Chain A
């Protein structure tokens, strides 16, 4: 009431064609058209709703996992076995291997020579117990210093691998190359790990006298007494072939490797006195492993892997939070419709002439519209994505399906990125609506440009290379912002768009969409200035 009788202040008069007024005018237009507000709410509801539907519907993933593990998987509410532990970085990890260990108190080092790495692979002709000699590329054996025997605990290790030479790996995700080449009796490898406080340094050598430092890692919070010793691990054998109908099919079966260690020497305090051999990370006893000692010569056999857990492997146990954001596509369509009509309705009703008469600087009008629609859809997308991610994870775990954990920073990037993706798509639709002045064509082009390349990329006959290019150069590249799991060269998997891996880095993918939106917006400003309204 007081506002209506307050006389207009001089400041408001002079600021009439200021940008704030244009912005306010556009906000008023958006806010007071019921259909646009409803459309935005629909976008939020379908994004969250379809995401929750997907989270609830994928509840049978535990039963799928039982095929590869063989044992009973469904126990009580959730899947008990098959759930990977969580590593120090917050990602799910594989941490199962055969460990011949002793406690190491304080600083110290361990040095060993490896003279052979051999293994057994499942036979390709039958899926029974037949085996044949051979190694998977990332079969690994070596020395390790580990926080504890708890799966998922911190570690640093020096190892020889089947196809990738000597590596130093720590905390599941880091991988540094040492000497290349395969190990044999004629060409043995010497490995050394030295602990000094939180710092662990790895060395390798071909002859045991000339040492090369491979890497230094800091494991913060490492307790004073750690477990150290020899290990062997061999990731499951996978024959994954790309399926021409989309997706992939393959067989997965355990493999094992056996390493011969010699000239084991140690320094520092090793209070245990005797070596203990046990399999880490398989409570159900499914792990294969064992060791044999003769003086300083050890033969260790193991299976499993010490590496990040990834999707895209045969026998994949769970979903990622990206799958709970599948509703983004539906939300995008609603937002694209609203953003296009936000400008084309002005042309259809002739309101554009009044708008441009009231605010003759046309570029500003479009900028104000872009800011209003971008902000509104960003907030809507953010809310929807947050709801889908938070409640999706709860719903999935209540339904007994496993969702790969991701660090909170990744989760934040995915939720905020989804909001940005929707907002930038809305600005693109607004700009194209201004260029074309026809809503049907503008809506179709934006939807087809964003949604169809993704569809062809994840669920079509196209080979991974072709769908990879579609997801690099089209606006659909922006979906990379929703990628939950990083790719690791040291883990064998089918890193394809259909299993949640995009060819571009998350922010680079979003930048592609931003470039399309910026170019179209620039064109729209030029045309709006030149053309009669």
Chain B
């Protein structure tokens, strides 16, 4: 209420904003758009529920019978839901831009804020921020579920599986890295959606890019050169190495290196999106 009182006459306010469409105004406009439609909130809630539910279900499905050695990477197992949750995150990010193309809103947006790269940057900042927040809750819930479920399934501290705890360095890296992974998936999706505009095509490309590489790797496993290449440079295979806490020497790429590969994918997609947005008619 007090803000409304302090704001000057409406006409004056608009003129001021066109004169200096600062990054702050762009962010505010984009935040209003995201906040006032029901889709993003539902998608974020859905992503959290899906990540935690799938993680808990996968953890509950694996049991370590007594007397056998179980080479299980328990932190990675308890974060299995990320593989599903990233699909919801991708929808959120794709809709953030292609929703505007679908309704024609993009022309109004670009008229109001002619600095097109700033619009994309504002969307990227907000989508990434929202996903980071939701991802933190989802990953926290998954780790908590793993902490409760794992000891009952034979993964006890006495057998070399300490309780999952964020105080443990590699577990913290896996958990925090998974949150960053989701944010990078969102940025990759936003970039691709900006290039192709149509939401269905964008989501198809994103999911294909993510899910195809592990399937192809499982088939070309006989070819060490190609399976190594795919595991090193495909966005999902490389990015999810951030979740590995055991057998780090055998990984095709180091955990942070893998996340870096995904970051390069996201950066290239956003860059392409930014360039296309600048050059193309809306």
Contacts and interface: CB of A to CB of B under 8 A. Distances in A.
- Do these two chains really belong together in a complex? yes
A326 B203 contact: no
Interface in A25-57: 35, 39, 50, 53-54, 57
A319 interface: yes
Given A244-B62, A440-B203, A461-B62, A57 B208 contact: no
A452 B83 contact: yes
A448 B80 CA distance: 14
Interface stretch (A142-150, A167-175, A336-344, A415-423): A336-344
Interface string A15-28: 00000000000000
A456 interface: yes
Interface stretch (B123-131, B172-180, B217-225): B217-225
Interface stretch (A58-66, A112-120, A213-221): A58-66
Interface stretch (A250-258, A327-335, A509-517): A327-335
A441 B211 CA distance: 17
Contacts of A461: 58, 62, 72-73, 76-77, 80
A58 B222 contact: yes
A128 interface: no
B98 interface: yes
Interface string B60-86: 011100000011110011001001100
B79 to A, nearest CB: 10
A344 B215 contact: no
B71 A245 contact: yes
Contacts of B257: none
Interface residues of A, number: 52
A60 B87 contact: no
Interface stretch (B26-34, B156-164, B193-201): B193-201
A204 interface: no
Interface in B29-68: 58, 61-63
A341 B200 CA distance: 7
Interface string A237-278: 000000111110000000000000000000000000000000
A232 to B, nearest CB: 33
A30 to B, nearest CB: 15
Interface string B190-234: 000000001111111001100110111111111110100000000
B94 A440 contact: yes
B134 interface: no
Given A58-B219, A461-B58, A444 B211 contact: no
Interface string A427-453: 000000000000111111001100110
Interface string B101-130: 010000000000000000000000000000
Interface of B: 58, 61-63, 70-73, 76-77, 80, 83-84, 87-88, 90-91, 94-95, 98, 102, 198-204, 207-208, 211-212, 214-224, 226, 247
13 contacts: A35-B201, A54-B216, A247-B221, A333-B212, A401-B222, A443-B207, A447-B204, A452-B83, A455-B215, A456-B80, A456-B83, A462-B62, A498-B218
Top 3 A-B pairs ranked by shortest CB distance? A439-B200, A337-B204, A466-B61
Interface of A: 35, 39, 50, 53-54, 57-61, 64, 243-247, 319, 323, 326, 329-330, 333-334, 336-337, 340-341, 344, 348, 401, 439-444, 447-448, 451-452, 454-456, 458-463, 465-466, 498
